[in-house]
Amino acid sequence: MTWIAPEVERTQTLKVAGERDALESWLHHHRDTLLTKCAGLTAEQLKTASVEPSNLTLLGLVRHMAEVERWWFRIRFGAQDLPTLYCPPESPDGDFDDVAEADAEKDFAVFREEVKLADAAAAGRDLDETFRYIRRGEEIEIDLRWVYIHMIEEYARHNGHADLIRERVDGITGA
């Protein structure tokens, strides 16, 4: 039987909310939006590149966002010592580059699990809580609020890519 990306009921954003609830509702909305762009497609369709010479695919975006969820919420903010999911040193863009032999059903499950674990890493933590890390040789300090805002903008950007890829795959637009 051919695996098909499942339908998703997209989380609606809160129209009136405190800061934390607003950030969480927008992040969940964008997470669901990415999966909505994939709903109803086969694994092979999810591996269809947008347009030459780009190798950007819907499955690559799902894999990338699982990687990004892990990176910012668990590895950086949560200080968990974890390996990357798809991007080992020998394939630093493996989330996008290595989809030809990828298992889409498994990668969707990994995405959903990383979202749950990211939410758990942030649960009960103050938006003002900070962490430090070295970026391009400079030590920087970032708070959890920044992580939420960054994730929302990262999803928004990639959901725009997903719109175009989905239209290329089967002509579906919007949603």
% of the chain at pLDDT higher than 90 = 92
Tens digit of each residue's pLDDT (9 = 90 or more) over 98-134: 999 999 999 999 999 999 999 999 999 999 999 998 8
Burial state string for 75-100 with b = 16 or more CB within 10 A and e = fewer than 16: bbbbeeeeeebbbeeeeeebbbebbe
Which sequence spans correspond to the domains of the chain? 25-170
Sign of the torsion formed by the C-alpha atoms of 43, 115, 12 and 156: negative
Asked if the 25-170 domain carries CATH number 1.10.760.10, the reply is no
Q: pLDDT value at position 135? A: 87
Q: Is the pLDDT of residue 173 over 90?
A: no
To the nearest 10°, the Cα dihedral for 154, 157, 159, 165? -130
With a cut of 90, say whether residue 1 has pLDDT above it.
no
- Are 111 and 66 in contact by the 8 Å Cβ rule? The answer is yes
CA dihedral 99, 105, 108, 112 (to 10 degrees): -150
User: Residue 158 pLDDT > 70, yes or no?
Assistant: yes
Kindly state the percentage of the chain with pLDDT values over 70: 99
Which one, of 85, 63, 75, lies nearest residue 147 by Cα?
A: 75
pLDDT digits (tens, 9 = 90+) for 55-95: 999 999 999 999 999 999 999 999 999 999 999 999 999 99
Q: Average the pLDDT over 40-68 and give the result.
A: 95
- As a whole number, the mean pLDDT across the chain is 96
8 A C-beta contact, residue 58 and residue 38: yes
Contact 58, 163 (CB under 8 A): no
The confidence score (pLDDT) of residue 111 equals 98
Q: What is the mean pLDDT of the segment spanning 135-145?
A: 95
Do 104 and 57 meet the contact criterion of CB atoms below 8 Å apart? no
Give the Cα separation of 169 and 165 in Å (integer).
6
Please, where are the H alpha helices in 8-128?
19-38, 43-46, 58-69, 94-97, 104-122
